[in-house]
Structure 1
């Protein structure tokens, strides 16, 4: 799902008779037992990796994301530096325009793919990858409206539209008249970009990509070494340790994982030092799913290899 969609959530129940039950979901797909259906609407309001309470259940939600995609709708002067900066930042880039002479390899050597088509006819395969950032920089409000109509009808990470406030208002009013909700229309970033005061195409491109980077990093995602995933995918059994929450100082954040194989091999890290040593020692006694808490006074923090005091919760799961 992650390779196909680019953005997937996993939810784990932490306590009660259903402790350890999981589901994975996107904005329009879910895999899990029927008990998840009643709380799925609330789960979909969670935007990042964190522990949430829904009803009487405490649930750990994890956000996983693949490499982001950037779709530039319009191939004018601003699009060229947007494409170049986007490639420097590691985006997979598609450039679209309805003028064949504009979408050329000479103009966009940094693009991964070029597409010439009417903005009203953007192909369906362009959508569905949720970790996609769309930038509408067409030559007129008709093109902007066509792009907005298509993008807002699908899950996406970001949609920004260039133009004056008058042009933006005309487009927004038209979309509202067509039946799009006010929430969806207002989710558009328009006028696009952070207000840096730039006038040149390159300066405008910097403001656009700065806003995209800010938006991309707004949601907290956990960290897991690829060795952890490879061990589990390889069929190895053992205990997974995941940081649920922390306060104070810790080398690793919420969502960080460590996997202890039954043969004694460890993969990844939850921070190292004595706290990791203690957690690994306790992992041998885990039979199913458990949550353990570590309250750190200033002295405890020093003893456990932390910089300062705080509170750490760790989820133990036998796999």
Structure 2
């Protein structure tokens, strides 16, 4: 199950799952991008439960516990390896690419002019592509966690990019330009049959309105808007140590914080993989809670949840930690 989840998020950059926490079908899990279900041992398929779980996961926008019809479902939205795809290699693209790399994006720049996507011009980017913007779909594979910045030199290039981007998954699509340029592109897309909803998903004019005039200032406004959108909803962090432990192909228990109240060092979605011999990878915050959860996880063979109290105390720095965390235990068998 988790091997498939991590495989999907590695390939697509984003995926979502949901697991029923209680009742007859506790432990039933759904992986959206593969449209597949994982049943606990000794359980068989049940269409009503599957439809209910699928509908809930599809509607969710962030990681957390969703309560529907007295049923609790823990939904996780995983994101990893964000790709910043800059279409147009002009003067604004240079600082956008630099800031994108600084923020941890895999950066691609594409332009129809060969001398605008050279190694010398963009030494820091991961991929440089030369080609007509009409060939975007051939040059750049679709990717769930893709952030498109369209900064071509005219509305023809904008339209060519837009009509292809709107037909594929994306996390963000922004387009630079004057009000006139944006209006022309918008009208053209509507005439071609794209819906108002699709066209309205475009951030145009691109960027936060901070009054930038210089290319670097415009780049800051663009990347600020991308960061704002990226952090609008809470996602599950893909801990590389936990992923590596799962991909070893050894049985164990996945331990996940699904709810927290009060002050806790790690948030919802934090994970720790516990091997059958007690070794661990990742962390759900350390301390007493992690110790007790790790000790319990060694012998877990069915999906279950437990609530742990966070101890209170005042140290030399005057720090106080209190509250509760709800922890999900999922057996991972190979």
Taking structure 1 as the reference length, the TM-score comes to 0.89
1:227 matched to which residue of 2?
A: 241
Q: CA deviation at 1:50?
A: 1.1
2:36 matched to which residue of 1?
A: 31
- For the 8 Å contact 2:278–2:298, the answer to whether it is kept is no
1:301 matched to which residue of 2?
A: 312
* DSSP 3-state at the match of 2:59: coil
In 2, the alpha carbon distance for the partners of 1:73 and 1:55 equals: 45
1:270 matched to which residue of 2?
A: 284
1:314 matched to which residue of 2?
A: 327
1:100 matched to which residue of 2?
A: 114
Q: CA deviation at 1:224?
A: 5.4
In 1, the alpha carbon distance for the partners of 2:19 and 2:258 equals: 11
Decide which of 145, 155, 160 is 1:131's aligned counterpart: 145
Decide which of 21, 30, 35 is 2:28's aligned counterpart: 21
Q: CA deviation at 1:78?
A: 0.8
Q: CA deviation at 1:53?
A: 2.6
In the alignment, is residue 87 of structure 1 matched against residue 92 of structure 2? Answer: no
Decide which of 216, 220, 230 is 1:216's aligned counterpart: 230
- For the 8 Å contact 2:87–2:148, the answer to whether it is kept is yes
Q: CA deviation at 1:111?
A: 2.2
1:3 matched to which residue of 2?
A: 10
- For the 8 Å contact 2:276–2:298, the answer to whether it is kept is no
* DSSP 3-state at the match of 1:302: coil
In the alignment, is residue 248 of structure 1 matched against residue 268 of structure 2? Answer: no
1:290 matched to which residue of 2?
A: 304
- Please say which of residues 139-148 and 246-255 is displaced more in the overlay: 139-148
Alignment deviations for residues 145-202 of structure 1 (CA, whole Å, 9 cap, x no partner): 2211111111111100001223222322322232222222211111111112110111
2:72 matched to which residue of 1?
A: 58
- For the 8 Å contact 1:224–1:258, the answer to whether it is kept is no
Alignment deviations for residues 94-147 of structure 1 (CA, whole Å, 9 cap, x no partner): 111122232222222222222222222213451321111100011111211221
- Please say which of residues 121-130 and 159-168 is displaced more in the overlay: 121-130
Cα separation, partners in 2 of 1:97 and 1:46, compared to 1, 3 Å: same
- Please say which of residues 75-84 and 167-176 is displaced more in the overlay: 167-176
Cα separation, partners in 2 of 1:301 and 1:187, compared to 1, 3 Å: farther
Alignment deviations for residues 54-73 of structure 1 (CA, whole Å, 9 cap, x no partner): 44532111122221111111
**How large is the RMSD of aligned CA atoms in angstroms?**
2.3
Query: How many correspondences in the alignment?
Result: 312
2:191 matched to which residue of 1?
A: 177
In 2, the alpha carbon distance for the partners of 1:104 and 1:98 equals: 12
* DSSP 3-state at the match of 2:115: coil
- Please say which of residues 174-183 and 197-206 is displaced more in the overlay: 174-183
Q: CA deviation at 1:293?
A: 2.0
In the alignment, is residue 67 of structure 1 matched against residue 81 of structure 2? Answer: yes
Q: CA deviation at 1:295?
A: 5.2
Alignment deviations for residues 232-273 of structure 1 (CA, whole Å, 9 cap, x no partner): 322332332210011211001001112222212222221122
Gaps of 5+ in 2: 1-7, 39-46
